[in-house]
A and B are shown apart, each in its own frame.
Chain A
Amino acid sequence: MEELKDKNIHQTTIKICEDLKNSSQYKSLFEDIQKLVATPSVKIEDFKSTLLKCMQENGLEAELKNNIYRWVKMKRKESSSYDSFFRKSQIHWDKRIHKSLNSMCSELGISLAKLRGNSEKEELLNKWNELSNFETDIHKYRPVYAPKDFLEVLLNLKGPKRDKSKCDNQRWEFAQLPLRVKNLSELRNLYLEISRGEQILNSNTMLSTNQNFVQLEAERILLGEKILMKNYAPLAQEYLKKGCPKCLRARIWALLLGAEIKSYQISYFDFLKQNVLQYDLMIDKLIIKDINLTASNDDQYFVFEDVLYQVMLCFSRDSEILKYLPNQPAFMQVAFKGKPNTPENTIVFPPSGVIPFHGFTMYAAPFCYLFNNSVELYFVFRAFYLRYWHRLHRVCASSQGIVSLCLQFERLLQCYEPNLWNHFKKCRIYPLRVVIKWIMRAFSGHLPPEQLLTLWDIILAYDSLEIIPLLAVVIVIFRKENLMKVNTLANVEAVLADLSSIAVVPLLQMALMKEEG
C-alpha cells in the first residue's frame, strides 16, 4: 500500500516536472535558479541543501511552490459519467454558433479572416490607445447570442436519462438533469467563515461603525503586506476569506493566479497586438460591437472603453487559451481571403477559440478598477477566464459549470422559498430567465464595481463559482415581498432590475448564518 502511494507520488512528480518545463514561467524561473547556483553561497560539496537554503532565502522556493499550487488548481478535474453527453451538446451548440457566424458573413458579404491592408494597419497602430476613435462600420453586426438564447439551449438538454413520457411537460426546469449540486448545509460547510459570521472586511462594514472599519482595514492591510512579502499563493487564497482591502486586491489576485508580469508576458502581449494589427478577423467587429453595447454605455465602465478594446482584441488572438481550456471547444479552420487554402494561409478561427456572446466584455471590465496597465489587466483577466469564466458559457457537467449552477439556483429557491417558487410557477414565470444574465456574467455589470469585486474575492477565496447562484437566490428571496405582488415576467424583471443597493457580504451572511429551521 505504502509502496503504491510512493509510486503514485513519484508519477505525479514526473508529470509536474514535465508540465512545468513546458510552461511559460519556466524559462525565467530556471534562469533565476541558474543565477543562484553561480553565487558563492551554493557549494558544490553540499549542492542540494545549500541550493535549497538559498532558494528559500531568495523567494524562489515560494515561486516553485506557487507554480505547483497553480498546477494542481489547473489540473483539478472532476469527471462525471455524463461528460460525453454534455460534451456532445456543447459541440452541437458550437456548430450552431459557427453556422450563424458564417451566415452573418455571407449576409454582409465579408470574410471571416483576411490580411489587414497597410493603411488600416497604420491607422490601427496610431489609434491603439484610443481605439474608440478607430472608424469601423459595425451597425449591421449583431451579437451572435445572448444569455437568454443560451438558456434556451440549456433547457433543451434532454438529459441522458430523461423519461420520454414526462417530456410533454413544458420545458421549465433543470430538475431532470442527473447532476448533483450542494444543498444549503453543504454550502454552509464550504463557506465556513461566512456561515460562522466571522468579521469580514467589506465596504458595508463602514455603515456599522466607522472606527471599527478603520481598525479592521489597517489590520488587514498589515497582514496582506506580509503575505505579499512572502509571495506565497496559497496564503493569498486563505487571506481573501476575510475580505480584501481595496488597495491590495490587485496584487493579491495577481499572486494567487500567477499573473505577475515579467518580460515574457510583456512580449507575449505585444505579439498578440501585432497579430491584431496583421489580421482582420470578423470577430473583431463582434468584439467592438459588444464593447459598444455594454461598457461604452455603462456609467461604471465607460471611461475604460479604450483599455477594453485592447484587451478584448488581444484576447481573441491568444491561442494559449484554446490550449489551456480543459474541454476544448470546437473550432474552425479558416483560410485568409484571396489566399490559397494551404496550411500557411489558414488559422484557427478565432485563435482563442472563444466566440463572444452579448456581454462578454463584462468578464474583463471590472479589472479596470484594479489595473492601469493593460498588460497586467490582461493576464489577470485571462487567468480568471481560464479558471472560471469559460464554464459560465459552455455546456459541461462540472459542478462549476453553468448547468450545475442553474440547477443549484433552482433547487435552493424551491427548497427555501416554496411559496415564491409556486407563485412563479402559477404565473408561468421562469425565474432563471431573469437571473441567467447575472449568473452568466458573474454579476458583472449588474452589481456596482465595489460589491462585485468583493464577490469575486469570495470566488477566489473558496475557488468556487457556487457563490453566484447562492447570491442570486438570496437577492430574489430578499425581494420576495415585492415579487409576490407581481405576476408578469416584465414586472418581475423590473423588481430585480436595480441591484445598486445590494450589499454582498451582509446578504450572504444573512443566508448562511441563519439556523436551519
Chain B
Amino acid sequence: MRVSYCTDLDKSVVVANCEKRGWVQVGPEEDWNIYWAGTQTCRSLFSVDSGYRMNDNQLINHFPNHYEISRKDLLVKNIKRYRRDLEKEGNIMAERGDSKYLHLDFIPVTFVLPADYNMFVEEYRKSPQSTWIMKPCGRSQGSGIFLINKLSKLKRWSRESKTPFQQQLNKESYVISKYIDNPLLIGGKKFDLRLYVLVTSFRPLKAYQFKLGFCRFCTVKYDSSVAELDNMYVHLTNVSVQKHGGEYNSLHGGKLSVQNLRLYLEGTRGKKVTETLFDQISWLIIHCLKAIAPVIATDRHCFECYGYDIIIDNKLKPWLIEVNASPSLTSTTANDRILKHKLLDNIFNIVVPPSGMPDVRWNKIPSSEALGDFELLIDEDLVNASENGENSSARNNSKWK
C-alpha cells in the first residue's frame, strides 16, 4: 500500500510529517491521496471549470467555501443568522436578557461597512465613549487595522476613500467591532489566544480541539489612553505585527503556552472561574461551527484545521475575534516547531483511518488513542447514537448538545 501526498506550500512541518509516515510526494497532476493545499489551490480544484473528480481515497485540507468562517464579515453574518434562527425556533439557547443574548454573546458587537453603516451609527450613539476597531474583511495578519473613538474619524476615513481610488477601495468592505478595551492583562501586557480546531465533517458535525494552543503577547504595556490609540504594538497581538517592534524576542516570540496560562489562572484566580472560562471557550467554538455548518459545502474528502483567535477580558469572559482557515505553520521558536509538528501529526492520525489509507467511506470515528493532543469537542454521530438510547460511551458532555 503506497500513500502519496501533494503539497503546494513549502512548509517543512508538512513535508517532515508526511515523510515520517513514509508517504511519497507527488505532483498535483499525479495520483495523490492527501493534498495539503493553500486555500486558492483548493478553491480552483473544486471549481466547476477544473473538472477534477476526487476518488474515495483522496483527502484535502480545506472545505470548498471555508471563507464562510474565515472572512470576518461572513462569519459575523453567519453567527447573527444562527442566533436569529434559534430564536425563531424558541430555542432557550437564544434567550435574551437586557437585549443581549445570554448564552450566545461571544462576539463583540460588529457591523459590516459600508452596508450596515446606519445600524452602526445607531449603536455608536448608545455609548459614544467606546472605542471601535476597523478591520478589512479579506486581509489577515493585522494589516489595514485601525482604532477609532470618534465618529468624525470614521467619516473622514470614508470621505477619503471616495477619492479617485474609490473603485479599488470600495471593493474592500470592512467590519467595525466594539473594541474589547478591558482585556485580561498578565504582567501588564495584553494577549490573545490562538487555539486549533480540527473539523472532519460539518454535517454531522465532528470537531476536535487541540490542547496545546498559545497566548500571543504584545511587547508593550497595555494602555487604553487615547494617545496610544494609534500604537499598534499596544493593541494588536499578531506576531506579524509584533515582530517589527523593537522589543520582539525571538527566543520566546511573545508566546506563552495555554497550559501555563491555565496554571497561572488557577493559581491566582481559582479553579472555578478558570474552568468556566475554558468551558466557555469550547462552547463558543462549537456554536461558531454550528453557525456555519448549514452554509458549508460539505464534502466527504475535506477536513480543515482552524486557528481560533480569542481575547479574554478582565472578567474572564472569552470573545471570539476571528477564525483563520489556514493558520500559520511557520515556526517562530523551538517550542513553536514542536507544537506545530505535533499538530500536523495528530491531524493526520485523526483524518486517516486505521488502515493507513485515506478512505472517505470510513465512519470518521477515530479511536481515543488516535486523538493525541486533540480532545473531542463534538461528534453529532455519537450524540445521536446516545440519544437513540444506544449504550454508547460517547464522551460528549451533554451540555454541548
Contact = CB atoms under 8 A, between A and B. Distances in A.
Is B truly associated with A?
yes
Nearest to B253: A299
Interface string A366-408: 0011111000000000000000000000000000000000000
Contacts of A221: 271
B96 interface: no
Contacts of A133: 221
B349 interface: no
Nearest to A210: B395
User: B interface, by DSSP: helix, strand, loop or mixed?
Assistant: mixed
B187 A306 contact: yes
B263 A450 contact: yes
A300 interface: yes
A250 interface: yes
A133 B257 CA distance: 24
A424 to B, nearest CB: 27
B251 A299 contact: yes
Interface in B250-273: 251-257, 259-260, 263-264, 266-268, 270-271
A493 to B, nearest CB: 16
Interface stretch (A93-101, A241-249, A455-463, A477-485): A241-249
A306 B217 CA distance: 14
A303 B184 CA distance: 13
B188 interface: yes
Contact of B268 (A250, A302, A306): A250
A82 to B, nearest CB: 41
Contact of A304 (B187, B263, B335): B187
Interface residues of A, number: 29
Nearest to A372: B268
Contacts of A298: 251-252
Given A303-B217, A307-B187, A449-B260, A297 B268 contact: no
Contact of B264 (A129, A305, A306, A369): A369
Contacts of B257: 299-300
Given A299-B255, A449-B263, A306 B188 contact: yes
Interface string A349-377: 00000000000000000001111100000
A130 B221 CA distance: 8
Interface in B209-263: 217, 221, 249, 251-257, 259-260, 263
Given A304-B187, A305-B187, A299 B268 contact: no
Contacts of B191: 303
A169 B259 CA distance: 49
A296 interface: yes
Among B187, B188, B249, B257: residue with most chain A CB under 10 A? B187
A85 to B, nearest CB: 42
Contacts of B267: 246-247, 249-250, 369-371
B271 A246 contact: yes
B259 A303 contact: no
Contacts, number: 73
B187 A299 contact: no
User: A interface, by DSSP: helix, strand, loop or mixed?
Assistant: helix
A446 to B, nearest CB: 15
B169 interface: no
A296 B249 contact: yes
B186 A303 contact: yes
Contacts of B188: 129-130, 306
A299 B271 contact: no
A297 B252 CA distance: 6
Contact of B252 (A302, A307, A368, A369): A302
Given A130-B221, A450-B259, A302 B249 contact: yes
B190 to A, nearest CB: 11
Given A246-B271, A247-B271, A299 B263 contact: no
Given A246-B263, A306-B188, A370-B267, A299 B256 contact: yes
B266 A299 contact: no
A299 B259 contact: no
Contacts of A305: 187
Contacts of A249: 267
Contacts of B264: 368-369
Nearest to B255: A299
Contacts of A303: 186-187, 189, 191, 217, 256
B41 interface: no
A304 B259 CA distance: 16
A249 B191 CA distance: 25
B57 interface: no
Contacts of A247: 266-267, 270-271, 274
B131 interface: no
A105 to B, nearest CB: 30
A186 B256 CA distance: 40
B149 to A, nearest CB: 24
Nearest to A246: B266
Nearest to A129: B188
Contact of B249 (A245, A297, A304): A297
Contacts of B335: 299
B122 to A, nearest CB: 39
A507 to B, nearest CB: 19
B331 to A, nearest CB: 13
B261 to A, nearest CB: 9
B333 interface: yes
A370 B268 CA distance: 5
A243 to B, nearest CB: 14
Interface in A209-259: 221, 245-247, 249-250
B333 A299 contact: yes
Among B255, B264, B270: residue with most chain A CB under 10 A? B264
A305 B251 CA distance: 14
Among B254, B257, B267, B270: residue with most chain A CB under 10 A? B267
Contacts of A307: 187
A245 B260 contact: no
A176 B263 CA distance: 44
Interface string B164-195: 00000000000000000000001111010000
A246 B267 CA distance: 5
A369 B255 CA distance: 16
B382 to A, nearest CB: 17
A108 B350 CA distance: 60
A302 B215 CA distance: 12
Contact of B260 (A297, A300, A306): A300
Nearest to B191: A303
A450 B253 CA distance: 21
Given A245-B271, A247-B274, 15 more contacts: A246-B271, A250-B268, A297-B249, A299-B252, A299-B256, A302-B254, A303-B191, A304-B186, A304-B187, A369-B263, A371-B268, A448-B259, A450-B259, A450-B260, A450-B263
Give the top 9 A-B pairs by smallest Cβ distance, nearest first. A299-B252, A247-B271, A246-B266, A303-B187, A297-B251, A370-B267, A372-B268, A247-B266, A302-B252
10 contacts: A130-B188, A133-B221, A247-B271, A299-B251, A299-B253, A299-B335, A303-B217, A448-B259, A448-B260, A450-B263
Interface of A: 129-130, 133, 221, 245-247, 249-250, 296-300, 302-307, 368-372, 448-450, 453
